[in-house]
Chains A and B, each alone.
Chain A
Amino acid sequence: MGSFRALEARPGPGIGEPFRMVVEEGKILEFARAVRADLPEHRGPNAIAPATFLAACAHWMSEENSGWKGQRRDFRRVLHGEQEFVLPSGPPRAGTELVGQQRIERIYHKRGKRGGMMKFTDVVTEFSDGDGHLVATMRSTSIETETDVDLSDSEGGT
Chain B
Amino acid sequence: MDTGRPHFEVGTKLDPWTDAPLSISDFVRYQGASGDMNPIHHDSSFAESAGFPGPFAVGMLTAGIAASYVTSSFGPESIRRFRVRWRELGWPGDVMTYAGTVTDIRQGSERPELEVVVTVTRQNGEPHLTAWAAVVAPSDEDV
Contact = CB atoms under 8 A, between A and B. Distances in A.
A156 B86 contact: yes
B76 A37 contact: yes
Nearest to A78: B38
Nearest to B90: A158
B61 interface: yes
B40 A90 contact: no
Interface residues of B, number: 51
B92 interface: no
A156 B34 contact: no
B88 A156 contact: yes
A18 B89 CA distance: 33
A91 B86 contact: no
Contacts of B61: 34-35
Interface residues of A, number: 45
B60 A80 contact: yes
A49 B87 CA distance: 26
A59 B31 CA distance: 11
Nearest to A157: B86
B67 interface: yes
7 contacts: A35-B67, A51-B76, A52-B67, A55-B36, A83-B63, A150-B51, A157-B59
Residue picked from A36, A37, A49, A150, most chain B C-beta under 10 Å = A36
Contacts of A33: 29, 33
Contacts of A36: 19, 65, 68
Nearest to B127: A156
B34 A55 contact: yes
Contacts of B11: none
